[in-house]
Amino acid sequence: MKHALLMAAALAVSVPAFAADGAKLYQEKTCVACHGKDAKTPLLPTYPKISGQNAAYAEQQMKDIKSGARANGQSAAMKGVMHLVSDAEIKALAGYLSKLK
């Protein structure tokens, strides 16, 4: 019982704090380097503007690039970064991007 309470408390503290920090992840995972500080001023014109992107779509694209299911366009540039991003971090990033205007 005590162990279960400790785990529940740890999850209650860590998940919301982590999930809410997509902005920090955007910097830490180097998304800013290619997609721009505002996520709509990419380094190269061929890189996508991802500000305001639908969260579910962005999450799936990042997961597909990570798994190799998507291997077209500029995905090779992202493949080297995505192995460093967990699924929970992908979800947080997608949520953050969807709220940008």
Let me know: does 39 contact 94? Beta carbons within 8 Å. no
pTM of the model: 0.78
Q: What pLDDT, on a 0 to 100 scale, did the predictor assign at position 76?
A: 87
Q: How would you class 65 by CB atoms within 10 Å of its CB: exposed for 0-12, middle for 13-18, buried for 19 or more?
A: buried
**pLDDT tens for each residue of 37-96:** 999 999 999 999 999 999 999 999 999 999 999 998 788 889 989 999 999 999 999 999
Let me know: does 47 contact 36? Beta carbons within 8 Å. no
Whether 14 has a pLDDT exceeding 80, the answer reads: no
Q: What pLDDT, on a 0 to 100 scale, did the predictor assign at position 20?
A: 54
Q: What pLDDT, on a 0 to 100 scale, did the predictor assign at position 72?
A: 87
Averaged pLDDT for residues 95-100: 97
Domains of the chain with CATH codes: 2-99 (1.10.760.10)
Please tell me the distance from the alpha carbon of residue 84 to that of residue 41, in angstroms, as a whole number: 23
